[in-house]
Structures are given as structure tokens and as C-alpha cells.
Amino acid sequence: MDQQLRDEHLAGFDGLIEDIRSRLLPALVAKWGVEVGSDVCSEVEEYAWSNQDRLVRMENPIGYLYRVAAVKSSSALTRTRAPLGTRSSAGRRW
């Protein structure tokens, strides 16, 4: 890949990351809360980095990444939930 193509590819990916942070992160936080939404957004950015060749050519990569986030949110929600029967910091049962 010559330098110009590499620069265009990187600029396309940088724009995608900006879109993820400005458009997708607020939607994820609104849907799953700050902690889970932020964690999932980080996982989506990692996914985007690993699949950037494919994503920069898509018509709607943010829509696709929203679906990726939905799949990744299930494991993030499992990690953040306290097991049933445990006590919260206030001493109440969940």
C-alpha cells in the first residue's frame, strides 16, 4: 500500500472512531448506563480496529457497530451484575 492510500485509510478509520465516540457512545450509555455503555464502546472500538479494512468500506458502519455492541453488551452486563443473594454496599439484598 503506498503512502497516500495508507493516509486515506487511516483518515477514514480516524473518522470512524470519531463517529463511534460522538454518535454511538451516547446511544450505548443511554441504553445500558455509563459503566456498561463505556465498556461496550471500548470493546466496539477494539473490534473496529481489528476489522477496519471492512468497516471503512461500509455504507453504515455505525449501524453495524451498534449491532456488534448489542452482542457484546450481554457479556458486559453479566460481568457488572452482582450475583443473586449478595448484599449491596447499603446492606440491602438485591
67: in domain = yes
| pLDDT at residue 85 in the model | 56
* Number of alpha carbons in the 13 Å side-chain half-sphere of residue 49: 6
Confidence of residue 12 (pLDDT cuts 50, 70, 90): confident
Contact between 77 and 71 (Cβ < 8 Å): no
Neighbour-count burial for 5-38, b at 16+ CB within 10 Å, e otherwise: eeeeeeeebeebeeebeeebbeebbeebeeebbe
| pLDDT at residue 2 in the model | 57
What is the enclosing helix (H) or strand (E) of 14? helix 3-19
At 87, phi and psi to the nearest 5? -95, 145
Q: What total number of domains does the chain contain?
A: 1
Instruction: For the chain, give the mean pLDDT.
Output: 79
20: in domain = yes
26: in domain = yes
pLDDT single digits (tens) 29-87: 999 999 999 999 999 999 999 998 888 788 888 999 999 999 988 876 666 555 555 55
At 23, phi and psi to the nearest 5? -110, -40
- The answer to whether residue 92 scores a pLDDT higher than 70 is no
94: in domain = no
Q: Is the pTM of this model over 0.85?
A: no
Q: What string of DSSP letters covers 33-76? A: HHHHHHHHHHHHHHHHHHTHHHHTT-S-HHHHHHHHHHHHHHHH
| pLDDT at residue 73 in the model | 86
| Mean pLDDT along residues 1-23 | 71
Domain extent for 11 = 3-79
